[in-house]
Structure 1
Amino acid sequence: MTASSILVLGGAHVDRRGRIHGETAPGASNPGTWFVEAGGGAFNAARNLARLGYSVRLIAPRGGDSDGEIVAAAAEAAGIEDTPFIFLDRTTPSYTAIIEGDGNLVIALADMELYRLFSPRRLQQRAVRDAIARADALLTDANLPAETVTAIADAARAAGKPLSGIAISPAKVTRFEDALPSLACLFMNEAEARVLTQARPDDPRQWPDLLRRAGLASAVVTRGGEAAIAFDATGAAMLAPPRLEVLGDVTGAGDALASGFISARLDGQTLATALRQGVAAALIAVRSPLAVAEELEPALLARVMALVPKAEMLA
């Protein structure tokens, strides 16, 4: 069977993460170590999907610097067809984060100015139009400008191709607002869902109704170590991930969940099964010190999925 082809348009940059050794001391110098790797929500998901056997093509802006070379090398290592827009006189975007000893995020700074140059006009290029036509599914993230996200959604709808989105952050999720009705699924955390709906429900089971009113037909809301919520036209599901005694790094967990979920959906699986597979992929990610776990592959995903409880279907 030929693997599904996925076109990914969005963030592909360099992550710099500082890991604090011991207890965090706010407002003071903290001993720790730096780690540098390729990252970006769309790119993390693209590499996960490639590891799961899909044919993945990446279109993303990049500078003509050493950081751009890091991204290019990571794409090649993952087996991704890398077709970037390269701006030789610009700096490749970067994300710099400080991580506590327990793996949780303290603070992060995103230098993403180059993504502004990925304008809707870029989608009119023959190579991009051909890539959309050949793909079985599309994926984008909110690193791109709002007008570009909307244009991608319009192009996907016109081509009859499902488009999924990754919210990235509370500050960026609103870039999806005009595209919400065109999305096959939007992946976000609870903070991002609050911004999108302007609501703060007491019961997480309320998220499906709130997000449907916002215009979404399907979405997944993650809640850290608490139960994730997913819904589509068939219903809604809730699943609490197994507790882990040790976290490697939470960076990339949401992107991994999106990858596992999308993979299941492309394989024709139900909402509940897709949520289980997404949670399994996230568990593999958080046990790894990398944003994209090098050990991820279909057999491991199946073994970890067997440890994930069944999703609770919601009324």
Structure 2
Amino acid sequence: MTVDILVIGGAHIDRRGHLFGQTKMGASNPGRWMEEPGGGGFNAACNLARLGHSVRLISPRGGDAAGEQVSAAAERLGIDDCPVVFLDRATPSYTAILEDDGNLVIALADMALYDLFSARRLRARTTRESLASTRTILCDANLPAETLTALGNFAASNGVPLSAIAISPAKATKLIPGLHNLDHVFMNANEAEVLAGQRATDPAEWPLLLRKAGLKGGAITAGGSMTIAFDGDEVMALSPPPVSDIADVTGAGDAFAAGFLSAQLEGADLGLALRIGTAAAAITLLSPYATAESLSVDFLATHLALVPEPEILS
């Protein structure tokens, strides 16, 4: 069965502590704790499923209750979940402490299991069949560099579009060897600096710097500041509308990627894809969860009306 999108990447347990007041380092802080399945790939897959797309998810997991929790959450949304299970290992986890306003204080990523998802695992029969029966592929930089490079080589050889979520500056380095085979990378300015090898003095410079590094297209977000998107020679800039009452910033970037790719799958141009990604991110910022349960095609259309038209830079 052909699916709209194959997602290969992180699917683990997210644990987030929300502080109630001003952070006091080196001391006990009152707050609340929550736990849910997460990960860049998982979050994007959930959002894409809520937007009506057929989605298959491949991710490394441990043979434990946490892995079963991730699978159950994916299946509830109708995602075709195809985990690569390491029975003697624990499912990865991400533990974060957040300010009262939802911004990150510090996080710990226990994700060594992802390093075991080597390039040779792409040659497994079920994975090969999945790669051969999808309209587009989304990966994230939780995977090893050799695996990301092998995915890029497959995509380039078979004419399948391949996009990636950079995840973090430290993990974005793994995209560099195969950067020329990626059609689109979703990143923030710190991750873009890693890929480009230098910092842009003005956001409008990012496309030039990233093209020199070998990237065909990308979107560089900056929280509530200007987002830059480019595809080939086309460059656009959009200033997101302000979002009041932010519940949690976790997952907003993954929602942007899902909204953007959803629009592309429907044939949208760069400007509309940029607006739809921005609207999906705004909906997620209002949710206490990494993927907003309220996200739907109709609700997204309502928020899209609040997002301005982008400025064409070239």
TM-score under structure 2 normalisation?
Answer: 0.98
Report if aligned partners of 1:132, 1:159 keep a CA contact under 8 Å in 2.
Answer: no
3-state DSSP class of the match of 1:136?
Answer: strand
Give the Cα–Cα distance (whole angstroms) in 1 for the partners of residues 206 and 26 of structure 2: 36
Counterpart of 2:11?
A: 12
What amino acid is aligned across from residue 54 of structure 1 in structure 2? H
Counterpart of 2:206?
A: 207
Report if aligned partners of 1:60, 1:84 keep a CA contact under 8 Å in 2.
Answer: yes
Runs of 4+ in 1 over 3 A off after TM superposition: none
3-state DSSP class of the match of 1:229?
Answer: strand
Once the two structures are TM-superposed, the CA of residue 198 in structure 1 deviates from its matched residue by 2.3
Once the two structures are TM-superposed, the CA of residue 82 in structure 1 deviates from its matched residue by 0.6
3-state DSSP class of the match of 2:37?
Answer: strand
3-state DSSP class of the match of 1:47?
Answer: helix
Counterpart of 1:255?
A: 254
Counterpart of 1:157?
A: 156
Report if aligned partners of 2:138, 2:164 keep a CA contact under 8 Å in 1.
Answer: yes
Report if aligned partners of 2:153, 2:181 keep a CA contact under 8 Å in 1.
Answer: yes
**Over residues 151-187 of structure 1, what are the superposed CA-to-partner deviations in whole Å (9 max), with x where a residue is unaligned?**
1111122221101000000000011112111111000
Give the Cα–Cα distance (whole angstroms) in 2 for the partners of residues 230 and 31 of structure 1: 40
Alignment of 1:115-134 (within 5 A): 115-134=114-133
Report if aligned partners of 2:145, 2:175 keep a CA contact under 8 Å in 1.
Answer: yes
Counterpart of 1:24?
A: 23
Give the Cα–Cα distance (whole angstroms) in 1 for the partners of residues 140 and 178 of structure 2: 12
Q: Which runs of 5+ in 2 are unaligned?
A: none
Counterpart of 1:299?
A: 298
What amino acid is aligned across from residue 128 of structure 1 in structure 2? T
Report if aligned partners of 2:3, 2:56 keep a CA contact under 8 Å in 1.
Answer: no
Counterpart of 1:40?
A: 39
Once the two structures are TM-superposed, the CA of residue 234 in structure 1 deviates from its matched residue by 4.2
What amino acid is aligned across from residue 69 of structure 2 in structure 1? I
Once the two structures are TM-superposed, the CA of residue 91 in structure 1 deviates from its matched residue by 0.4
3-state DSSP class of the match of 2:24?
Answer: coil
Count of aligned pairs between the two proteins = 314
3-state DSSP class of the match of 1:236?
Answer: strand
What amino acid is aligned across from residue 280 of structure 2 in structure 1? A
Cα RMSD (Å) of the superposition? 1.2
3-state DSSP class of the match of 1:216?
Answer: coil
Report if aligned partners of 2:259, 2:277 keep a CA contact under 8 Å in 1.
Answer: yes
3-state DSSP class of the match of 1:152?
Answer: helix
Counterpart of 2:96?
A: 97
Report if aligned partners of 1:3, 1:54 keep a CA contact under 8 Å in 2.
Answer: no
Alignment of 1:160-239 (within 5 A): 160-239=159-238
What amino acid is aligned across from residue 186 of structure 1 in structure 2? V
Alignment of 1:256-275 (within 5 A): 256-275=255-274
> What is the percent sequence identity of the aligned residues?
58
1:241 matches 2:240 = yes
Counterpart of 1:283?
A: 282
Give the Cα–Cα distance (whole angstroms) in 2 for the partners of residues 202 and 164 of structure 1: 26
Counterpart of 1:51?
A: 50
3-state DSSP class of the match of 2:22?
Answer: coil
**Over residues 103-153 of structure 1, what are the superposed CA-to-partner deviations in whole Å (9 max), with x where a residue is unaligned?**
111111101111111111111111111111110000100000000000111
3-state DSSP class of the match of 2:138?
Answer: strand
Report if aligned partners of 2:56, 2:79 keep a CA contact under 8 Å in 1.
Answer: yes
**Over residues 184-228 of structure 1, what are the superposed CA-to-partner deviations in whole Å (9 max), with x where a residue is unaligned?**
100001111111122122211101101111110100000011011
What amino acid is aligned across from residue 111 of structure 1 in structure 2? D
Task: Identify the range of structure 1 (161-170 vs 229-238) with the bigger mean alpha-carbon deviation.
Answer: 229-238
3-state DSSP class of the match of 2:29?
Answer: coil
Once the two structures are TM-superposed, the CA of residue 22 in structure 1 deviates from its matched residue by 1.2
3-state DSSP class of the match of 1:308?
Answer: coil
3-state DSSP class of the match of 1:171?
Answer: helix
Once the two structures are TM-superposed, the CA of residue 69 in structure 1 deviates from its matched residue by 1.6
Counterpart of 1:71?
A: 70
TM-score under structure 1 normalisation?
Answer: 0.98
Once the two structures are TM-superposed, the CA of residue 3 in structure 1 deviates from its matched residue by 9.2
Give the Cα–Cα distance (whole angstroms) in 1 for the partners of residues 233 and 50 of structure 2: 29
What amino acid is aligned across from residue 211 of structure 2 in structure 1? R
